[in-house]
Amino acid sequence: MSELHFVGKVCGSKDQLNRALIVQSFFPHLSIEGDSQCEDILSMKKALKDFQNGAKEIECGDSRTILNYLALRVSRQKGQYILKASNRLFKLRQNDLLKILMQLGCEVEIGESYLKIISYGWKPQGDGLHVNQKQSSEFLSALLLSAWELPQPLFIHRHSEALVSQSYLNLTLSFLGALGMTIKHSKDGYFIDKGQSISVANFKLEPDMSVCYALACHALLRGSARIQEFPHHSVQPDFAFVNLLKLMGAEIYYKENTLVVKKTAPLMPMAIEFNEIPDMFPMTAALFGFFPYESKLYGSAQLSFKESHCVENCISLLQAVGRNVHPWKDGLLIEKGEPDFNMTPVVYDEGHDPRMAMAASLYMAMGYPITINDPNVVNKTYPEFWSSIGVRP
């Protein structure tokens, strides 16, 4: 095991930057302060550039977010478009996206690796749009992000079912409000008036909280992390990690504009519900695997609609290091015990999910004989990850 002594800044929030790039495609004069060189952001930038240069075939790579955001963005403009993506991505259910596009008057066709959209500009059908919010808030976010300069008002019905990942929708609403969009809320839904434009010229990105959380977990086990230019408040859902670690007894505090996290033992796990913080599930599960106590992580049903079978992959990881763990209430339960340092060496299949690779990295850094099937998958989120934690995958 090598000690960690991270000092520095991390990349800008991928969630914020993806949203900002969509808005910038409507208003090129919008300046974005901060950046990220992760593959998903580079893919989003290229896709938007191709679209603005008149391309009719646009590559979305292996990102569900890019596919959803681009589908709604290109549908604002009359024409025929083909969005290409990985076969693996199209194995996920796309019915909700198709229903939105059809309600907007688009003709759609979906294949094993493409989505064909024939758009006449948004032509909402009926008394407003109905957006499925049971599985993800991303479809609603994608719709709102492209609701600038509408030729007519738009009403989106709010249904009675609980919205999954409300925190990510709140991130979108806060972001759009900061740029000048007025969205009227009621118990019935959301109303966006026509002809709205941005009222600011600059938007500054916050550091990516998912990356900060991964660094913090490494620091808790084997050293320290000093994350510079860290905000005291954030609408990013994963900002919740600060209070979570404090409640667990971690040595974590602010010093000027820096978040300081130091190795702490013992830490006490908690029963945690992940409906609003699904991206924190893998790293939390891996961290709790080091504790000898029983741990419960639950309320993460929406993870089954993301890029990998996240809960199953977390169970596989913890079982590989000798923990007794099993499914429990849309999550998992880790029984009392400790990881086995003398475990059989394994090559762990992260399921093409950078979150799972980062979770497994905790055990790699602590000397457990684990290697990752595709360590480069972290490039989708944070290319500097391995150098930041000081581990050679």
CA 148 to chain centre: 23
Q: Percentage of the chain with pLDDT > 70?
A: 96
Identify the band that residue 301 occupies on the pLDDT scale cut at 50, 70 and 90.
low
Identify the band that residue 160 occupies on the pLDDT scale cut at 50, 70 and 90.
low
Structure-block tokens of residue 380: 């989708």
Which of 313, 147, 215, 188 shows the shortest CA–CA distance to 8?
A: 215
Q: Is the pLDDT of residue 106 over 60?
A: yes
Q: Percentage of the chain with pLDDT > 90?
A: 80
- For residue 360, count other CB atoms closer than 10 A to its CB: 29
Show the CA angle centred on residue 307, arms to residues 321 and 363, nearest 5°. 20
Residue 61 confidence (pLDDT): 87
Identify the band that residue 163 occupies on the pLDDT scale cut at 50, 70 and 90.
low
pTM above 0.75, yes or no: yes
Residue 2 confidence (pLDDT): 85
Show the CA angle centred on residue 81, arms to residues 77 and 83, nearest 5°. 120
pLDDT, one tens digit per residue, over 248-298 is: 999 999 998 999 999 999 998 889 999 889 999 999 999 999 999 999 999
Contacts of 243 (CB under 8 A, 6+ apart): none
Which of 55, 81, 70 shows the shortest CA–CA distance to 146?
A: 70
Give 372-379 contacts, CB < 8 A, sequence gap 24+: 372/347, 372/348, 373/347, 373/348, 373/349, 374/350, 377/350, 377/352, 377/353, 378/354, 379/38, 379/39, 379/354
Residue 164 confidence (pLDDT): 66
Q: Which domains does the chain have, with CATH numbers?
A: 14-204 (3.65.10.10), 207-389 (3.65.10.10)
pLDDT, one tens digit per residue, over 30-70 is: 999 999 999 999 999 999 999 999 999 999 988 889 999 99
Residue 121 confidence (pLDDT): 95
Residue 95 confidence (pLDDT): 85
Q: Is 80 left (phi over 0), alpha (psi -120 to 50) or beta?
A: beta
Residue with tokens 């299949």: 349
Q: What torsion, rounded to 10 degrees, do the Cα atoms 96, 101, 107, 108 define?
A: -40
d(CA 176, CA 16): 11
Residue with tokens 């820096």: 258
Look at residue 327 and give its three-state secondary structure. strand
Tell me 285's DSSP state.
Answer: H
Who has greater pLDDT, 125 or 139?
139
d(CA 74, CA 176): 19
Average pLDDT, the chain: 93
Structure-block tokens of residue 284: 């939390």
Residue 373 confidence (pLDDT): 94
Q: Is the pLDDT of residue 303 over 70?
A: no
Structure-block tokens of residue 237: 């859902």
**Backbone angles phi and psi of 191, in degrees to 5:** -120, 125
Which of 207, 233, 215 shows the shortest CA–CA distance to 5?
A: 215
Q: Is the pLDDT of residue 308 over 60?
A: no
- For residue 1, count other CB atoms closer than 10 A to its CB: 11
Which of 310, 307, 383, 313 shows the shortest CA–CA distance to 65?
A: 307
How far apart, in Å, do the first and last CA atoms of the chain sit?
A: 13
pLDDT, one tens digit per residue, over 221-246 is: 999 999 999 999 999 999 999 999 99
Structure-block tokens of residue 7: 């000092």
pLDDT, one tens digit per residue, over 339-371 is: 999 999 999 999 889 999 999 999 999 999 999
